Amino acid sequence: MKDQTAVTSPEMCWTFSLRSSTTIVSLRALGKTVTKKSTQHEQKHWCLDLEVILQESATESVADSFAINVDHDELDSVYAELFKALLKDVSVASSSKDGRRTTILRLVFSRESGTVVRSDFLSYRLHDCEGVSLAVDFLKPLSSVHQVAPEEAVNIRTTHSFLELLGSAVGGIVAHATVAEEDTAALCRHLDDEFTKRLSFPWVTNEPLTRSRVFWIQGRANIEASQQFYEAASALGITLVVLDEPGHWLEDDAGPHAHYREAFIPISIDGDEGLTQRVVDAVRSYPHKVDGIVSISDVRLPRIARACEILGLPTSSSAAYALAGDKGATRELESAAAGGDEGFVLETPDQLDAALIEKKDRLRYPLIVKPCTGWNSDCVVKVRNEAELYAAVQRASARHVTSAKSDTRVVVEPYIDGPEIDANFIVLDGEVLFCDISDDFPCSGDLPGSEGVRGANFMETLMDVPSALPANEKDIMRESLRKCIARLGFQSGVFHCEARVRGSRARYEPCSDNGILDLHVQESKSRTEEEEAPSCYLHEVNARPPGYINCVAALLAYGVDYYAIRLLLSLGTRENARVKALAQPFLGGKPQYVLGVCVLPPTRAGIMASDDAVLEFLEANPELRTHVVHYQTIKKKGDVVQGPDSSELWCVAYVTVASRKSRKECLELVQQVRKKFDYRLV
């Protein structure tokens, strides 16, 4: 990057020694990295780099240098994590073959005064940055940030002046050369480039920020499926009150995760009509002001939105949420917008006879049958003839008869033989602030001849970030889905959309060199009249963030936290500035690596014997562990594992692998995970 300038002057020639009971580490001030104000994406920071002095040169005199000695115990606890890690790294490195590897401590300072939009911005935006072993934020939620001039890093002569400078930093990192041959200048240039890519967003705001309180309906199954949400709330300065069933893991005030919430209110969170009033009563009886309510459960969204309407709290309309959660109504809305009627909705299976008579000449098999209410592709079936259609309609209609939200309606629609994508949106006042599109690889139900095959379903198998669709098709999907969201009645929100590309130039085929299935784009050519132009066929709009594993993937790949945005949107227009700031991905909108979110299905049924099957797998395969950036084990010790032919769509685990090299390498890593992963049964 050409908009960085590193300045070293005689006044910067000072050294800093940090002592612990067992280790002394000496660092030499290198210089200041200051971003020029002429850059298009102006940075809000400048940096001070200090290089760890190698053991054999630590005693060498440095011309015009001043030595500053600091005992580790003198440091405030907010800095202890960073310097403790530095001491440990140096101690380990000095006794290994990497002892001569360049190591830098980089302190980060603000160029503007204001309030930090999120206190952990440095650590989450630098997560998985190559060469950075640790990033530590020095700020508390809603902290005031004071402008610090780069000149304040010169003329450091005393321990007091150094600690005063340290006290004005917003955070720090420890970084290492990734190869032994990389010198100090090269490492600094690498860090400058990465900081420009990752910190090019307004992490300081001039607008006043105050602590808010949000009711969180349904606290999720465990901390492994929700930690990102709770950490986002904490860093944003949002106090949470959790409402869930008695016995929930967050109920105990002395529990290990109780610090994530102010209080726990035990209530029934069943998605029946009474949920609205139960939430309204809980808010009105709470002793402190409540500023917003959030749920990310599809069946509960309309009920919670209605509670917000009654209480006068910020929300999209409950009618929009109800429409989005109704696959039948959504299909009819999209058909009307397209001027066609390819699909149809049945109130009960008895209506199928009349529908077939009316649409007989227009029906083209295979067809898709699914309940109007549902999630996780549950009870979604592809049928190839009338007999299978009747059977599938009966099953889909009966699926939710006894649920809290009883519904017998069924959607019948064409099967679209085109690439499926997941598209996640952040929308504010009708404007798309961020959209990420990923490839949803074929399911077992997509395979030729899968109709009527036991165990064939539409449970996800692999999501690849980013999509390999042609750029024009991604643009078509983004714009079409934006219009779908608007038609439902939403102006703002976080949305998870699922759709297929009709008439795509891309097809899933095995690669010629390794046989791995991937999306291949045909060369552009003139289309005949019979060939249709690419278009979007909507499956569904979920008016909430994607599933947890995909929220983690977006945070890792792009630096965008959907949970943080959803929390801020629940507080209304006063948080628009933070929404706009935190919706900005890494510079250029490119992910830092290619991600493969691998869904590991059960291969046999029984009772899980492994405490954590994925952890056991990673410990046994260290060569793969370095490529795994996140995982979530669903089936733990003692859980029932449904077999591969079960109608219940449960996976054993999710494993997310990353490649900075290529999509091809990412898919090869996914294949290795699939081949080697196993689990133990009782």
The domain ranges of the chain are 4-205, 212-315, 418-552
Q: Which residue has the higher pLDDT, 497 or 33?
A: 497
Residues in the chain: 682
Residue 384: pLDDT over 80: yes
Task: Give 478: exposed, middle or buried? Use CB within 10 Å, 0-12, 13-18, 19+.
Answer: middle
Residue whose C-alpha is closest to residue 534's, from 418, 415, 367: 418
Phi, psi (5° rounding) for residue 266? Answer: -80, 115
List of residues 6+ apart from 155 with CB closer than 8 A:
11, 161
Q: Kindly provide the residue ranges of all beta strands, DSSP E only, lying in 408-487, ordered along the sequence.
A: 410-414, 420-428, 431-440, 462-465
Phi-psi map region of 14: left, alpha, beta (phi>0 left; psi -120 to 50 alpha): beta
Least reliable range by pLDDT among 5-19, 209-223, 440-454, 589-603 = 5-19
What is the dihedral angle through the alpha carbons of 133, 139, 142, 148, rounded to the nearest 10 degrees? -110
Instruction: Write the CB contacts of 97 (distance below 8 Å, at least 6 apart in sequence).
Output: none
What confidence score (pLDDT) does residue 64 get? Answer: 43
SS3 of 569-612: the string is: HCCCHHHHHHHHHHCCCCHHHCCCCEEEEEEECCCCCEEECCCC
β 462-465/493-502 pair status: unpaired
The predicted model scores a pTM of 0.93
pLDDT at residue 226 in the model: 97
Query: CA–CA separation, 353 vs 359, rounded Å?
Result: 10
Q: Please tell me the predicted confidence (pLDDT) of residue 31.
A: 79
Asked which of 351-360, 376-385, 387-396, 421-430 is least confident by mean pLDDT, the reply is 376-385
β-pair partners for 640 = 607
Mean pLDDT, range 468-488, rounded to an integer:
98
Tokens of 319: 């009618």
Please check the confidence at residue 58 and state whether its pLDDT lies above 90.
no
Mapping DSSP to helix (H, G, I), strand (E, B) and coil, where does residue 66 land?
strand
- Encoding tokens for residue 338? 């397209």
Q: 433, 580 in Cβ contact below 8 A?
A: yes
Class of 418-552 in CATH? alpha beta
Residue 273 corresponds to which tokens in the numbers above?
């009509």
Distance CA 655, CA 633 (A): 8
pLDDT of 10 > 60? The answer is: no
Regarding predicted confidence, which is higher, 254 or 64? Answer: 254
Evaluate if residue 372 carries a pLDDT over 80: yes
Mean pLDDT for the stretch of residues 447-460? 62
Kindly state the DSSP code that residue 446 receives in the 8-state scheme: G
Q: Express as a percent the part of the chain with pLDDT over 70.
A: 88
**How sure is the predictor about 183, in pLDDT bands with cuts at 50, 70 and 90?**
confident
**CATH architecture classification, 212-315:** 3-Layer(aba) Sandwich (3.40)
Given a contact cutoff of 8 angstroms between Cβ atoms, the answer to whether 440 and 431 are in contact is no
CA distances in angstroms from 274 to 224, 450, 659, listed in the order given: 30, 41, 48
Pairwise pLDDT comparison (17 vs 439), residue with the higher score: 439
Q: Dump pLDDT digits (tens) for 201-223.
A: 999 999 889 999 999 999 999 99
**Whether the predicted pLDDT of 61 surpasses 50:** no
Whether the bond between 546 and the residue before it is cis, its omega within 30 degrees of 0, is no
Per-residue pLDDT tens over the stretch 623-682: 999 999 999 999 999 999 998 888 777 899 999 999 999 999 999 999 999 999 999 999
Amino acid 576: pLDDT: 98
User: Residue 678 has which token pair?
Assistant: 């196993």
- CA 564-566-571 angle, to 5 degrees, is 100
Q: How far is CA 546 from CA 297, 340, 438, in A?
A: 11, 29, 12
pLDDT band at 56 (very low <50, low <70, confident <90, very high): very low
- pLDDT tens digits for range 292-305: 999 999 999 999 99
pLDDT the model gives residue 547: 95
Residue 457 — pLDDT band, cuts 50, 70, 90?
low
Pairing of β 238-244 and β 212-217: parallel
Among the residue ranges 175-179, 237-241, 501-505, 555-559, the one predicted with the least confidence is: 175-179
